[in-house]
Amino acid sequence: MTGDNKNLLFAIVLSVIVLIGWNYFYGVPQMEQQRRETQQQSLQQGEAGSAAPAPSGAGGTAAPTAGAAPAAVMTREAALAQAPRVAIDTPKIAGSLSLRGARIDDISLKAYRETVDPRSPNIVLLSPAGSPHPYYAEFGWVTGAGTAVKVPDANTIWSADRERLTPSEPVTLTFDNGEGLIFRRQIAVDDNAMFTVTDSVENTSGQPVTLHPFGLVSRHGVPTTQGFYILHEGLIGVLGDEGLKEVSYSGLEKDPVLAGDTRGQVYKGVTGGFIGITDKYWAAAVVPNQDQPYDGRFSVSPGARGPRFQSDMLGGPQTVAPGATTEVTTRLFAGAKEVAAIDHYEQALGIKRFDLLIDWGWFYFITKPLFRVIDFFFKLFGNFGVAILLVTVIIKAIFFPLANRSYVSMAKMKAVQPEMMAIRDRYADDKMKQQQALMELYKKEKINPLAGCWPILIQIPVFFALYKVLFVTIEMRHAPFFGWIRDLAAPDPTTVFNLFGLIPWDPSQVPVIGHFLMLGIWPIIMGLTMFVQMKMNPEPTDPIQKTMFAWMPVIFTFMLASFPAGLVIYWSWNNLLSVLQQGFIMRKNGVKIELWGNLRNTFSRRAKA
């Protein structure tokens, strides 16, 4: 492959990446976000009511679905005050559980705040029905076929043996249905964010009863999401051998009707895994017994002013004989998706593919190991930015043999450049003979024209994997670098259009084009390093290619201005290392470095113009 063709391929590949990436990461998500925000304004998200059994798609029993909405939305504080509560306090989470319905519906994350400001509010994960953003977990029993007994529902008031739930103090709730059944629920929590819910039923009546245990996570209204194509936010689960299932809020609303007004998906008789609802950094997921089959379901049902989304599991029938007691254990994860914690739960509790609660993406086999390497260096140096720089050096070292072959091939191509030009002149009107003659020349000189393409193509998955790591892992959230970069997962906050903060003006507020005016210091550094890297090689002779290459650093500078700062820092550092690496290999192979001549020619032409 000639130098010009190699450069053209490089330009095409990167341009396609940027165009597709821009469309999926920013264009489509922004339109989708606007649609959701408009819809959100019309929703009343406070909904509660009695839970009523709803038939599954194939008939039979299913987990309950929330009922009617209250007349008005309350503040979160007012909604919390509507029922007696048991406080929850662990090193990672704080909140309470409601004794009405025994719902876990009040969870805040102690270690995470809404912004980088240490005085900003803590992240609120779960909220009770009736609040502006209802999101809660519920456990219990539904009656089996032929059984008509009173079971606790969303309005049942339970009694508690203590007022506080901590890792060392589990809480036991009790409800007597007055018909010979005594329901007990012990709720324990660990130091992080995993609840263990042990439900038991004691039958003091004279008749056997058949019940099904259930666990659910319910969210009322369409939440505000990041809206990025590469990130799943919505209903999620690993359902036995069915594997990972991800259902978006909008996608679920379009599903076929299961029963009545409820839409959704049902996976019957699966074993192992989990089911819940995930955000970018947080999640609430029900974890059933990993050895017992269950029915998993994603569903949405209409509310007074908006949809109610639900992920639930329904266990097999439990027949309780007179004088006997039955017991089932289910777990609930409700917290931040920290990689170490998620992996620990998967291994310690045997939860099937629990690590997929984090959206590692298509390049899972690259993304997760890449995170582990970055995290290793972070623990050594205490700075994720430094870790990214070190990992970039390692990646360059790994790809050094390929890069060396690329530049050796380039050196050979430059050596036979006069012969190639002669062939083109000789067969100017016969492209077929021209290509045949060139291939014979490559074979004679032992040149692989594709050698220069492999380093580019192979590094594309690595680039996307790093982008994924920066974008989805909570460890990168609010992680500072140096100076003005206080969050590697957010774009560079500076912009040249207000002289990097010297002018008290926010360019992002300009209608239509404000998004493009946030051109920070690191994107500019990236653009400059890319410009220098391109000037290392001879300029293309084709005027179209020359124009493309002239504008590409500018286009990439504006494109990457909205990407996470950590990714821009990586690209800038990678460009600089590439310049040093290319210079070393070219000098070693006796190839002329065109940098200074190209720079001189570029600026002299502009000066003359």
**DSSP string over 289-308:** -TTSEEEEEEEEEE-SSSEE
Predicted TM-score (pTM) of this structure: 0.82
Please state the separation of Cα 450 from the chain's center in Å: 35
Query: Which residues in the chain come in under a pLDDT of 70?
Result: 1-62, 66-72, 227, 256-262, 304-305, 407, 410-411, 414-415, 448-456, 537-543, 545-546, 589, 591, 602-609
Residues 544-579: b if buried by 16+ CB within 10 A, e if exposed: ebeebbeebbebbbbbbbbbbbbbbbbbbbbbbbbb
Q: Which residue has the tokens 């560079």?
A: 492
The per-residue pLDDT for 145 is: 72
Q: What are the backbone angles phi and psi of residue 581, rounded to the nearest 5°?
A: -65, -45
Total Cβ atoms within 10 A of residue 498: 16
Cα dist from 429 to 4, 426, 437, whole Å: 20, 8, 13
600: left (phi over 0), alpha (psi -120 to 50) or beta: alpha
Q: Which residue has the tokens 């450049």?
A: 417
| 3-state secondary structure (DSSP) of residue 152 | coil
Q: How far apart are CA 337 and CA 345, in angstroms?
A: 11
**Which is it for strands 159-160 and 171-176: parallel, antiparallel or unpaired?**
antiparallel
Q: Which residue has the tokens 């990167």?
A: 14
The per-residue pLDDT for 541 is: 55
Burial class (CB in 10 A: 0-12, 13-18, 19+), 158: buried
Residues 57-82: b if buried by 16+ CB within 10 A, e if exposed: beeebbbbbbbebbeebbebeebbeb
Structure tokens at 584: 């070393």
The per-residue pLDDT for 46 is: 35
Q: How far apart are CA 555 and CA 166, in angstroms?
A: 54
Q: How far apart are CA 251 and CA 53, in angstroms?
A: 24
Q: How far apart are CA 417 and CA 445, in angstroms?
A: 12
313 closest CA partner among 97, 140, 125: 140
The per-residue pLDDT for 42 is: 35
Q: How far apart are CA 518 and CA 496, in angstroms?
A: 8
Total Cβ atoms within 10 A of residue 478: 17
Burial class (CB in 10 A: 0-12, 13-18, 19+), 385: buried
Amino acid, single-letter form, for residue 185: R
The per-residue pLDDT for 328 is: 97
181 closest CA partner among 231, 216, 129, 141: 141
Secondary structure letter of residue 477 according to DSSP: T
Axis crossing angle, helix 400-415 with helix 384-398, rounded to the nearest 10 = 50
Structure tokens at 389: 């720089």
217 closest CA partner among 150, 133, 139, 132: 139
The per-residue pLDDT for 452 is: 58
Q: How far apart are CA 128 and CA 301, in angstroms?
A: 18
Q: Give yes or no for a contact between 164 and 86, defined as CB atoms under 8 angstroms apart.
A: yes
Amino acid, single-letter form, for residue 186: Q
Q: Give yes or no for a contact between 247 and 236, defined as CB atoms under 8 angstroms apart.
A: yes
303: left (phi over 0), alpha (psi -120 to 50) or beta: beta
Amino acid, single-letter form, for residue 319: T
Instruction: Give the containing element (helix H, strand E) for 440.
Output: helix 431-445
Longest dimension (CA), the chain: 103
The per-residue pLDDT for 196 is: 98
Total Cβ atoms within 10 A of residue 439: 12
209 closest CA partner among 321, 63, 64: 321
**Which is it for strands 181-189 and 194-203: parallel, antiparallel or unpaired?**
antiparallel
Secondary structure letter of residue 449 according to DSSP: T
Q: Which residue has the tokens 């299932």?
A: 245
The alpha carbon torsion through 352, 358, 361, 363 (nearest 10 deg) reads: -70
Sign of CA dihedral 578, 580, 586, 592: positive
Q: How far apart are CA 578 and CA 584, in angstroms?
A: 10
